[in-house]
Each structure stands twice: as C-alpha cells, then as structure tokens.
Structure 1
Amino acid sequence: MGTLLVDTGRRNRVGEFRGVSGPYWSLRPMCGGTEWGAEPADVRALEPMERLRAKIARHDARGAGRIL
C-alpha cells in the first residue's frame, strides 16, 4: 500500500499515492476504484485519527469481499 493522503480539493477524500502525472498527483481510493488527479497544493498527510479510520475502512472492505 502506498502513502495515504487527503485531497482537500475533493472534500477531504482519502487516497493512496500512485505517482505523478504531469502537474497532478495520481491518487487511488483506499478501497479500490478509479484514480484521480489531485493538485499537489491541495494534498496533505493524514492525521492519526484519519489514518486509523482509513485502515479500518480498508480492513472492513476486504472482509466484506469488496476488495482483494
């Protein structure tokens, strides 16, 4: 799993850093889905409670068979 980041330009959406695409950072939803391009200025690291929530959500999604 890559670094988890918050995209403040997308209502604090949490995503996994996937790489750089032109002027944007590519982020992918924690539980799978389509990547999106985020403005680097709108991206920040997760706070400890956000990180815990994201890990629990991923664990729950795996348990329910929604992601591998």
Structure 2
Amino acid sequence: MRVVCGGYVVDVRDGRLGKVMGQEGPYVQLRPPGGGREWDCPPDAVRPAGSRDALRARVAEANQASRLP
C-alpha cells in the first residue's frame, strides 16, 4: 500500500489510528491525532483509515489546536 504524508491510517498490529508523518527507511512514521509520540510501523501493517476514523482524527486535532495559546 502506498501511504500519503498527512493521511490517516490504522496500524493493524494494535488498531491505533495515526497520521502519516513520513517514511524513514523501511518504516512509516505515524503520530496520534492531536499530537503525541510518533511510532514506526511497517508499510504492510497499515490500512487506510475509514471515514469514521478520519473524522475522529480531525476532531482530535481540532480540539488540541483549540487548547493552544
């Protein structure tokens, strides 16, 4: 699967939703919606986020942005 930087995917190993931040070596770098610590995931262990997951991610990011000064 080809991943797009800025898109949302699900890490099928544990079900975590992540925003694609880039690709380093053989791994895709993902960050939780709304911020947090990035993690590495093999490209074959991600699937595109469904519309419900993507909406949840955008809401989390909007909530986080509203808390910033």
Indicate the TM-score class for this superposition, using the shorter chain for normalisation. Answer: 0.7 to 0.9
Measured on the aligned residues, the alpha-carbon RMSD in Å equals 1.9
Please, which runs of 5 or more residues in structure 1 have no aligned partner? none
Measured after TM superposition, the shift of residue 57 of structure 1 is 1.4
The 4+ residue runs of structure 1 with deviation greater than 4 A are none
Measured after TM superposition, the shift of residue 44 of structure 1 is 0.8
For 1:5, the equivalent position in structure 2 comes to 9
- Output the TM-score relative to the length of structure 1: 0.77
- Is 1:27 the counterpart of 2:56? The answer is no
Count of aligned residue pairs for this structure pair: 65
Measured after TM superposition, the shift of residue 64 of structure 1 is 2.6
Question: What does 1:1-68 correspond to in 2, within 5 Å?
Answer: 2-9=6-13, 11-65=14-68
**Residues 41-50 or 13-22, more deviating:** 13-22
Residues 28 and 41, structure 2, Cα contact 8 Å, conserved in 1: yes
| Secondary structure of 1:31 counterpart | coil
- Output the TM-score relative to the length of structure 2: 0.76
Taking every aligned residue pair, what percent have the same amino acid on both sides? Answer: 35
